[in-house]
């Protein structure tokens, strides 16, 4: 027994001695556990030691950080989210109780005095980020700092490389004026949709297979009976069928009242509300900053010099002259006039807002079709909404609300004060990365507040929408005037995953949900050849472009306006002939100069969507 005890003591001392050794025997840096072989061929055991690694506290250094974001005039020190972040990151956050979103006078006073916080989101500021930088009020942020300390954002930049060029300090390739906001929703959805009277379609022989459609669920209590009024679908109507529908809606008494009082569509001047139903059928959108490669000249041009624009105007002109489309009176705003006409339920095809029908009690949307019809004229009227029609070449496109997820300027940039050191900047970026990119629960907590207090899930967690608690109903210690006071609007993840999940699983269909669920936004989004922006052109070329436009527009605009006016008035007998004359005049007046010196240049980067449509939700 004593021998056993002695042996155990010896082994214990040996193990204790080994644990104190700082390096592995035989100089093996890898601590190999293999034995060694002597000259006599005898294998001897090799002792392996493991050095305990003490991880250094990444937040050992303490920082005081002054912080300014929008709508925090009523900020009270010691809020729950402030205390959590201070403890986690070993900082003292000094939130400035100011409204940087609306109080322009106060922001101007700060900048004039050079009183600049370490971190700021200042939409009401008097200087743009580039000017703040030039005046030595803010510092730049190196791309390498973003890669190391804000890796979540860096990953998104890799997926959407155009983001590397937003807010880039002039003359550099890897320094930024600030942290660029990333907002997916506006870059993924369309503002408008095409709405057709389903009952009229059946009456003229174009009835739809309702088993292929998705039915709306109106979430407002008391309006459930209108769930039978709206459906969503993807139409396959050809250009010939589209024209036939417009004709028959006008001539064949689709509402069956025995009177000649219906027609196909109202022509609305080109704007964000009509792209899907009008110009999108010809492969372009209303926005003048979208540029296209012309199939005839081969030049990169705006819509007013794009050959399909000729065909579009010819189509509008023909339908206006035949009465299948009718113009607005033009006495008041087009919105007021169109809503008044649509509410009569005498128009078969309508250009509508993407989801106004979900809010039947909204003062903002009460006058919009189709709800203005089934709420005010015919509670049994039925409508199908979606991308329905195709143009002469089978095209059907629409325009996303914004072209990129990124933006520039005071309203889309978080800035860092000039006196902030690299070490303090690293801590600020790490705080932001924690809030925005750790996981969905953390994001929801700091952006929307505490679950069960500031908001709750409408259904299954992480797969349904959030119901936000009104501030007036919150206990005083939890009231907040701003969504995510520590990161402003720096990141808004896509809602596509939630919306399509709620639709597919629980039947909460809307046009956005339908388009998201079947990847129709990506399918129908207009992808221009190029886009007018300093991001794609570069600052020097963009400034030249602005100067050229100021010089040439007075010469070109009368030509453009005259051709369109004559088209809408039915004064063009041969569109092909007169288009050739129009293009010759337009090029001579300045378009040729713009093409040669701006639009066609190789240095003017082509547009790419990147992965903006493929990101459906947080990348956790």
pLDDT tens-digit map of 113-124: 999 999 999 999
Q: Write the pLDDT tens digit of every residue in 382-408.
A: 999 999 999 999 999 999 999 999 999
Burial 192-219 (b: 16+ CB within 10 A, else e): bbbbbbbbbbebbebebeeeebbebbbe
The sign of the dihedral angle between the CA atoms of 282, 283, 287, 289 is negative
In degrees, to the nearest 5, what angle opens at C-alpha 147 toward C-alphas 144 and 153?
135
| pLDDT for residue 348 is more than 90 | yes
Please report how many Cα atoms fall inside a 13 Å half-sphere around the Cα of residue 489, on the Cβ side. 18
| pLDDT for residue 18 is more than 50 | no
Q: CA-CA distances (angstroms) from residue 91 to 4, 75, 431?
A: 56, 18, 10
Tell me, what's the pLDDT at 47?
Answer: 38
What average pLDDT does the chain have? 90
Tell me, what's the pLDDT at 45?
Answer: 34
Encoded tokens for 288: 């003048």
Q: pLDDT above 90 covers what percent of the chain? A: 76
- In whole angstroms, what is the distance from residue 465 CA to residue 190 CA? 20
Q: Write the pLDDT tens digit of every residue in 412-468.
A: 999 999 999 999 999 999 999 999 999 989 998 998 889 999 889 888 887 777 888
Tell me, what's the pLDDT at 38?
Answer: 36
Encoded tokens for 484: 């995510």
| pLDDT for residue 49 is more than 90 | no
- Domains of the chain plus CATH, in order, are 2-44 (no CATH), 63-178+407-494 (3.40.190.10), 187-386 (3.40.190), 530-599 (no CATH)
Q: For the chain, how long is the longest CA-to-CA vector? A: 119
Tell me, what's the pLDDT at 11?
Answer: 35
- In whole angstroms, what is the distance from residue 94 CA to residue 586 CA? 58
Lowest mean pLDDT: which of 42-46, 65-69, 256-260, 484-488?
42-46
- In whole angstroms, what is the distance from residue 353 CA to residue 571 CA? 32
Q: CA-CA distances (angstroms) from residue 324 to 34, 105, 247, 389?
A: 89, 54, 6, 16
Encoded tokens for 235: 């139409």
């Amino acid at each position: 027994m004593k021998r056993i005890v002695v042996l155990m003591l010896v082994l214990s001392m040996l193990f204790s001695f080994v644990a104190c050794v700082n390096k592995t025997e035989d100089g093996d840096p890898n601590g190999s556990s293999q034995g060694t072989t002597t000259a006599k061929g005898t294998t001897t055991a090799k002792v392996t030691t493991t050095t305990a690694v003490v991880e250094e506290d990444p937040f050992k250094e303490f920082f005081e950080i002054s912080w300014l974001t929008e709508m925090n005039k009523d900020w009270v020190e010691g809020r729950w989210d402030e205390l959590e972040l201070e403890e986690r990151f070993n900082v003292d956050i000094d939130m400035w109780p100011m409204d940087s979103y609306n109080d322009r006078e106060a922001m101007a006073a700060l900048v004039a005095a050079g009183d600049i916080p370490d971190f700021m989101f200042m939409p009401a500021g008097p200087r743009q980020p580039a000017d703040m930088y030039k005046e030595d009020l803010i510092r730049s942020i190196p791309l390498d700092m973003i890669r190391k300390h804000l890796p979540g954002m860096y990953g998104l930049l890799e997926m959407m490389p155009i983001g590397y060029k937003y807010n880039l300090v002039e003359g550099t390739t890897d320094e930024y004026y600030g942290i660029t906001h990333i907002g997916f929703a506006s870059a993924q959805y369309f503002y408008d949709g095409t709405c057709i009277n389903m009952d009229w379609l059946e009456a003229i022989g174009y009835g739809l297979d309702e088993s292929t459609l998705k039915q709306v669920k109106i979430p407002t209590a008391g309006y459930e009976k209108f769930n039978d009024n709206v459906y969503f679908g993807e139409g396959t109507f050809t250009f010939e069928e589209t024209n036939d529908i417009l004709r028959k809606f006008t001539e064949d008494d689709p509402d069956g009242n025995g009177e000649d009082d219906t027609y196909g569509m109202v022509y609305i001047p080109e704007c964000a509300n009509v792209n899907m139903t009008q110009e999108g059928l010809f492969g372009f959108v209303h926005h003048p900053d979208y540029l296209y490669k012309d199939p005839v000249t081969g030049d990169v041009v705006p819509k007013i010099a794009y050959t399909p624009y000729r065909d579009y105007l010819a189509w509008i002109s023909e339908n206006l002259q035949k009465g299948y489309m009718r113009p607005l009176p033009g006495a008041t705003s087009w919105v007021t006039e169109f809503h008044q006409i649509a509410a009569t339920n005498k128009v078969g095809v309508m250009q509508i807002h993407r989801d106004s029908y979900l809010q039947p009690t909204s003062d903002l949307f009460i006058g919009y079709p189709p709800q203005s019809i089934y709420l005010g004229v015919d509670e049994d009227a039925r409508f199908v909404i979606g991308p329905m029609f195709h143009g002469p070449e089978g095209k059907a496109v629409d325009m996303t609300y914004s072209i990129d997820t990124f933006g520039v300027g005071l309203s889309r940039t978080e800035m860092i004060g000039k006196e902030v050191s690299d070490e303090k900047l690293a801590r600020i970026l790490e705080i932001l990365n924690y809030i925005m990119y750790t996981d969905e629960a953390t994001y929801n907590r700091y952006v929307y507040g505490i679950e069960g207090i500031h908001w709750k899930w409408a259904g299954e967690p992480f797969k349904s929408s959030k119901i936000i608690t009104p501030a007036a109903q919150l206990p005083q210690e939890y009231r907040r005037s701003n969504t995510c006071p520590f990161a402003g609007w720096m990141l808004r993840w896509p809602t596509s995953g939630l919306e399509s999940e709620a639709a597919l699983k629980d039947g909460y269909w809307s046009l956005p949900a339908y388009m998201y669920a079947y990847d129709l936004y990506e399918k129908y989004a207009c992808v221009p050849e190029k886009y007018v922006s300093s991001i794609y052109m570069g600052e020097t070329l963009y400034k030249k472009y602005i100067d050229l436009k100021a010089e040439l527009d007075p010469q070109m605009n009368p030509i453009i306006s005259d051709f369109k006016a004559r088209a809408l008035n039915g004064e063009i007998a041969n569109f092909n002939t007169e288009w050739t004359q129009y293009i010759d005049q337009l090029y001579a007046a300045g378009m040729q100069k713009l093409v040669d010196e701006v639009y066609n240049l190789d240095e003017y980067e082509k547009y790419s969507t990147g992965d903006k449509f493929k990101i459906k939700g947080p990348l956790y």
